[in-house]
Structures are given as structure tokens and as C-alpha cells.
Amino acid sequence: MKNPVTVTVTGAAGNIAYSLLFRIAAGEMLGADQPVVLKLLEIPPCLDKLKGVVMELEDCAFPLVKEIVATADPAEAFKGADWCMLVGSVPRKAGMERKDLLGINGKVFVGQGKAIAENASKDCKVFVVGNPCNTNCLIALHNATGLPSQNFFAMTQLDEYRAKSQLAAKAGVPVSEVTNMTIWGNHSSTQYPDFTNAKIGGKPVTDVISDTEWLKTTFISTVQKRGAAIIAARGASSAASAANAALMTVKNLVTPTAEGDWFSVCSFTDGTKYGLPAGIICSMPTRTNADGSHTIVEGLPIDAFSREKIDASCKELLEERADVADLLK
Ligand code: NAX
């Protein structure tokens, strides 16, 4: 029997967590032979609701679950954590500017970054889902003194899946035929789903879908606005699909990537790749190596159309960084 891996999930009484926790507990994220300790963080008003979630987890009698801790204390929640999945954050309310939201959530991620550095395992990985996830992740990174910057990630896997699904529908092929899909930039409406380097059945997308105008307009805007379309249709934001993407991101980060392919995740830029500015959390094509390390895929051609889109999303990330400058050490 392997030693248990400790997974901390914040926002554990929320909608995404309600799909996510049961699948982690069932072994879908870290493997069917990997025991887990679940540490669940919530804010005090949601502890009763969290108690109900814990009762349901207990009622599943998952053999891989060795212990469940439910708490409102970040120090207790992050104690010994190997994976910190930061799902919880305060939603944007009517009349709130992006800067207001950044400020409110930013303070949460200052505290959580510090609590992670003080309590989690020294090689823990931090994965941010709560929005604005790129900049929240940057704040956590800056405040988690002593942890390597390459251990911080934010989620664009859901955007990648949305893009793959749109391309598959247009081409009339199963979604599994679509590979090499990069989301560049910010998890926001400026993100760029890069059809120029993606493939369908091993061929360039542009060889299979001749409607270039559709690719440059409808495809991109459908992916960029899919979150809002779900809210309009369902009356609530993506939850099961977001949980699936969160689970799959961690799975992708711990599993060697299939030869020739990559996946999208946001990580810390060093300023040496694709002309991306240094010091932001930016979505890029990423591979997991056999030794568990991660590599940004290099050498992809970036045409003028892509360049403009990627630069626009990075500009937004730089503006967000400037908005929270006082929270970055
Ligand atoms: P919910 O509002 O259902 O749940 C969030 C939970 O977080 C609540 O239970 C709340 O009490 C808790 N929380 C708030 N502050 C906390 C803190 N300081 N510590 C611990 N818990 C705290 O939202 P849900 O639908 O689960 O979405 C969670 C986050 O994911 C939101 O920020 C949402 O915007 C973001 N998303 C990110 C996506 C991505 O692709 N990166 C896609 C889906 C989703 O929109």
C-alpha cells in the first residue's frame, strides 16, 4: 500500500467541490491505488454545509480515503498538504469592478499563500481554480515564501476542453481526434484558443476545417464566452465540467504526457518563451515528463494573427498584476 497523499481543497462546500471531492476520493485523480487524506477548507458560515458534504463522503465508504479533516483554519487545512487545490473564492457581485474583485480575493490568496508556505509539504503543488485564477495564483506564489515558483498552476483545462469540443463538432469527428490544443494567456474572455497549432486526426485543423473565417471569429468567441453561456442556460456557473477539468489538470500534471501532445495549464513565465512577459501566470502548452517535471513546449510557430491575440491576453494579465501590486512581495 502506498503512503497517503494529502490533498487540500478550499471552497469545499461549494458547487465545484461537490463534484470534485467524490471523484478525488474514488481515485480518479491520483490513481486507483493511491490512498488520500482529504483536508477541506471553508469559511465559518459554510462549515455546517461542509459537514453535510463530509457525511456524504463518509457514506460512500471510499476505500482510498484514510482521513477527512474539515476546518475553517487555513493552518490546519494546509498542514502536510501535497496538493493545494484552491477552488474557493468570493464571486463577483453586481456593480463590482474587476479591480474590486481582485482586491477582495487577492487578500484571501495572500493569507492562503502564507499558510501554505508555513504548513504544507515543502514540495507541494498549488493549483488555483478560484477566479480570477491567474492573478490569484500569482498572489499566492508571491506570498508562499520558500516554495518554488514552478510548483504553482492555474486552470485553463476547461477552456481547452471547450475548444476541443467545438472543433470536433465542426469537423464532425469524435472529440478524442482533437489534440495539441493550446489556450494562451488569461482564463478570461481575452484567452486565445490556438487553432493554428491544434490537430484533428493528426492533421492541422486548418486542413480539416476550411472555414477559416469561422475559426478566426465564431470558434474563438464561443470558447471565450462559454462560461457566460453556461450561466445563461443553467442559471449557475459551470460546476461538474469545472470539477472535471480541475481533476484532469492534476492528473495531467502527475502523468507523463502522450508522445507528441500537450495540455494547457497556466504557470509562471520566465520571459524566455514566445515573447511572453516575465513574472505572470500565463496559460501555455505544457508537457509532464517521465520524472514528474514539467516543460513548456517550445518552437511552435506563432503567426501574426496568433501574436496579436496572445499579446492582448498578456496585456490584461500585466494590468491585473499592476492592480494587485501591493499584494505582491
Ligand atoms: P461556489 O460559490 O459554489 O463555492 C465557492 C466556495 O468557496 C463557497 O462555499 C465559499 O464559502 C468558499 N470560500 C470563499 N472564500 C473562501 C476562503 N477564503 N477559504 C475557503 N473557502 C472559501 O463557487 P464554485 O461554483 O464552486 O466556483 C469556485 C470558483 O471557481 C469561483 O471563483 C469560480 O469563478 C471559479 N471557476 C473557475 C473556472 C476556471 O476555469 N478557472 C471555471 C469554473 C469556475 O467559474
Task: Report the chain's C-alpha Rg in angstroms.
Answer: 19
Per-position DSSP letters for 215-233, written without gaps between them = IIIIIHHHHHTHHHHHHHH
The phi, psi pair for 296, rounded to 5°, reads -80, 130
73 and 67 Cβ atoms separated by less than 8 Å: no
- Going from the Cα of 258 to the center of ligand 1, the distance in angstroms, rounded, reads 31
Distance CA(82)–CA(94), nearest Å, equals: 36
Q: From the alpha carbon of 238, which atom of ligand 1 is closest? A: 43
Site of grid cell 481554480: 129
Helix 98-119 to helix 133-143 angle, to the nearest 10 degrees? 40
54 and 41 Cβ atoms separated by less than 8 Å: no
The phi, psi pair for 83, rounded to 5°, reads -125, 125
Distance of CA 167 to the CA centre of its chain: 21
The per-residue pLDDT for 312 is 98
Peptide bond into 91 cis (omega under 30): no
- Going from the Cα of 106 to the center of ligand 1, the distance in angstroms, rounded, reads 14
- Going from the Cα of 90 to the center of ligand 1, the distance in angstroms, rounded, reads 7
* Predicted TM-score of the model (pTM): 0.97
The percent of the chain in helix, strand and coil, each rounded to the nearest 5, is: 45, 20, 35
Best of 19, 39, 42 for a ligand 1 pocket test (most atoms within 8 Å of beta carbon): 42
The per-residue pLDDT for 99 is 80
Q: Point out the residues of the chain with pLDDT beneath 50.
A: none
DSSP SS3 for 284: strand
CA-nearest of 266, 272, 303, 271 to 285 is: 266
The per-residue pLDDT for 78 is 98
Q: Record the cell numbers describing residue 248, joined without a space.
A: 484532469
pLDDT single digits (tens) 42-91: 999 999 999 999 999 999 999 999 999 999 999 999 999 999 999 999 87
Active site residues: 187
Nearest CA to ligand 1 atom 32: 130
Distance CA(190)–CA(202), nearest Å, equals: 27
Best of 8, 16, 137, 158 for a ligand 1 pocket test (most atoms within 8 Å of beta carbon): 16
Q: From the alpha carbon of 156, which atom of ligand 1 is closest? A: 40
CA distances to 255, 262, 292 from 288, in Å: 6, 8, 6
**H or E element in which residue 106 lies:** helix 98-119
Ligand 1 interacting residues, C-beta cut-off 6 A? 10-11, 13-17, 41-43, 46, 87-91, 108, 129-131, 133, 155, 158, 187, 227, 237-239, 242
